[in-house]
Amino acid sequence: MTAQEIRKAYIKFFQDKNHAVINRARLVPENDPTTLFTGSGMQPLLPYLLGESHPDGNRLVDSQTCLRAQDIEEVGDNRHTTFFEMLGNWSLGDYFKQEQINWFFEFVTSVVGLDPNRIFVTCYSGDEELSIPKDIDSQSVWTKIFESKGIDAKTVDIGSEENGYLKGEQGGRIFFYKDKNWWCRAGSADKMPVGEPGGPDTEMFYLYPQIKHDTKYGSLCHPNCDCGRYIELGNSVFMEYKKTENGFDKLPKINVDYGGGLERIAAASLDDPDVFKISLLLPIVQKLESISHKKYDQYTNNMRVIADHLRGAVFLAVDGIVPSNKEQGYVMRRLLRRAIRFAFELGIEQNFLQDIVPVITSIYEPDFPEVSSQKDQLTEILLKEEKVFRQTLRKGVRELQKMADKGQLSGSDIFTLYDTYGFPSELSVEEALIQNYELSKNWQNEFNDKMSEQRQRSQTATKGTFKGGLGGQTLQHKKYHTATHLMYQALRDVLGDHVIQHGSNITEERLRFDFSHPEKMTDEQIKKVEEIVNEQINKDLVVTFEEHPTKEALEDMHVLGAFGDRYGDIVKIYRMQAKGLDKPFSLEICGGPHVDHTKQLSEEGKKFKIIKEESSSSGIRRIKAVLTI
């Protein structure tokens, strides 16, 4: 099966089991200050997994596009990508372990056609000190499944991942791990604060017997080994516990969250561990072979990096991001420039994006209409960045020569060329060798130290990316979230209806809001927006929400939404309206959270104030505002 066929089959499989299909969330999460990107299928749905009701019901299914920028340096092997799709199904207080485990096994074996004999699973081993029992319920379900296929369901207790390299496989089929198979936002059960939910999970791995274990990862192989023999296909989280003062209690409403890697499942269906040979990536590789006149087998790393990075950059452009030197735009620029640099090594020295981008858009157009509708715009953005970087390469060569004229080239010099001019270190070193420039003996270590410092500054996501979901649930977050709604409408009142939200970020200290507007706001316009917002705060508008069909909300009620967002059949609409008035001041699609009435924003004598108005990107302005005395 192609990846596209698997995606469609997965959605239909769960639709037939009464799951509502929900649209993907944008790669840039709204109102979540803890992470720059949507890094998992769970991330946009975490509030619903923690108790909030979902407008589409308690059984959901989707395929969520994700981006994990911390994996940039990992790209080049056969399975790591920065951009990927996560197949997901959720039960919000409905079915549980029995149904979930059986259904996913049925899907990958009966629908996709994977060999049951090469499927291995892991479960939670429990924690005696915390009185959390071993997940024998999941084990029991798996045992029955394997035995029904004539497969020995031997269990092996591993414990920590490190123990896996000492204990090895031991002929096991079901493996018990501790922290690796426990999910919570704190990372492990012993670190969970009171009131926090969590639970065990079970993971499915697919064995590639053609791959030999590499002992550089550890003496013995086991399912969680990094050697590549076992590839994780999916993870079912069973959120069933809540931390209390006295330990762990069962949640009254237990949930299922499943996330599976579409690319990895598609690779397994081909019986090839190389995800770059699946239908979502192979056409890009083949185009690179065509325009470079080089073979994938000989230039594997280069072509993998280019294919992954450009796919991620295209979807960032689809979701409204443009290259810049800040935050999401910085990561997008880095992806593009790394791709151009690796293309340079293939001998592709100009305008290769105009050949590659259409290949990527053609892959996704049939299933993601937003790609089709924005194809011309995103192509223009990407080609412009390539043109700029080609000039940067030339500038980098000139700066390198100036530095070399002063003496030895140090690691700091090479880092400055990379960080300030975007000139890759590999090109600096290559150019230095060609021109007989002298490199300091310690340049590599010095450059690596500078790069490590930069990574600490620009890290965009972590292993705990799921922590983002409720990062904005404090009262202060709710105040700023409410103020954002008021400011959005005030901006439209002052500047015009062309103002459309292009993203927001809310912390406990301030709000940040990006919006379409062609020029810098005047001092008078800024002052007028402040006056309107404070006036509405003082009117003590009542904040309520209601659910409506999406078509009715957008076409009949004319509610506001965010640029690039796609919605399901039902949306939640927040209304901010003065008592006794028929017309609301603000009417906007949103998922929350907000205060109950706007006067709460002026407690302790605070007022709304815009502290900065600046350009975010071409045609997009950015406001930062605070509630202050």
**Over 235-261, what HEC string results?**
EEEEEEEEEECCEEEEEEEEEEEEEEE
Phi, psi values for residue 540, rounded to 5°: 55, 55
d(CA 278, CA 274): 8
d(CA 329, CA 321): 6
Strand-strand pairing, 174-177 and 155-159: parallel
Q: What is the pLDDT of residue 172?
A: 96
- Please give the span between the terminal C-alpha atoms of the chain, in angstroms, as a whole number: 61
Measuring CA to CA, how many Å separate 390 from each of 278, 351, 384? 31, 9, 10
Phi, psi values for residue 590, rounded to 5°: -165, 160
> Could you tell me if 109 and 278 are in contact, meaning their C-beta atoms sit under 8 angstroms apart?
no
Residues 312, 317, 320, CA angle at the centre, nearest 5°? Answer: 130
Nearest to 625 by CA among 474, 468, 515, 495: 515
Phi-psi region of 362 (alpha: psi -120 to 50; beta: other; left: phi over 0): alpha
Q: What is the pLDDT of residue 225?
A: 92
Extract the residue ranges of the chain whose pLDDT is less than 50: 461-471
d(CA 289, CA 299): 9
For residue 53, give both structure tokens: 């009701």
Q: What is the pLDDT of residue 31?
A: 60
Q: For 553-574, what is each residue's pLDDT tens digit?
A: 777 777 887 655 556 677 888 8
Q: What is the pLDDT of residue 457?
A: 57
Preceding amide of 584 cis, omega within 30:
no
Q: For 192-235, what is each residue's pLDDT tens digit?
A: 888 888 899 999 999 999 999 999 889 999 999 989 899 999 99
pTM exceeds 0.85: no
Residues 158, 164, 166, CA angle at the centre, nearest 5°? Answer: 110
